[in-house]
Amino acid sequence: MKPSPIPDSPSLIECIEQIAIKSRGSGFSDKFLIEIKPYSDKLAGFLGCKSREAVWWAIIFSINFRTHAVDMDDLSNYIECHPLTILKLNDFEKLTHSEVDKKRQWGNSKKKVSDSG
């Protein structure tokens, strides 16, 4: 199958959309990663993370539209691979820590605002 043409300058939402569409049933294969690399690289630049981490972010972001939380079962069903395969890839530690740090910073800011009022 020939990869779809990549726009000269896709928007971030187009990058997320292409990653989400192409990831469904991909098994997170090398072929899939090569096919979406231009999109994941652009998204990674925006998010300040590695390209593969941006792929996971886009997939989780997409699944999150259908449910209030995304778990390992959701991910493995969406990309059609075993949950242990996902864990083996070990791309989640940085994403998890960055989200926790953002929540801490937001929580501290919120507390400061409410304490001063």
CA atoms within 13 A on the CB side of 114: 6
**Per-residue model confidence as pLDDT tens digits over 29-41:** 999 999 999 999 9
The interaxial angle of helices 72-79 and 51-63, nearest 10 deg, is 100
The single-letter code of the amino acid at 114 is S
Whether the model clears a pTM of 0.75, i.e. scores above it, the answer is no
Please state the domain extents for the chain: 12-91
**Per-residue model confidence as pLDDT tens digits over 2-51:** 455 555 788 999 999 999 999 999 999 999 999 999 999 999 999 999 99
Q: Give the angle 105-20-78 at the CA atoms, nearest 5°.
A: 100
How far is CA 83 from its chain centroid? Answer: 16
How far apart (Å, rounded) are the C-alpha atoms in residues 104 and 99? 9
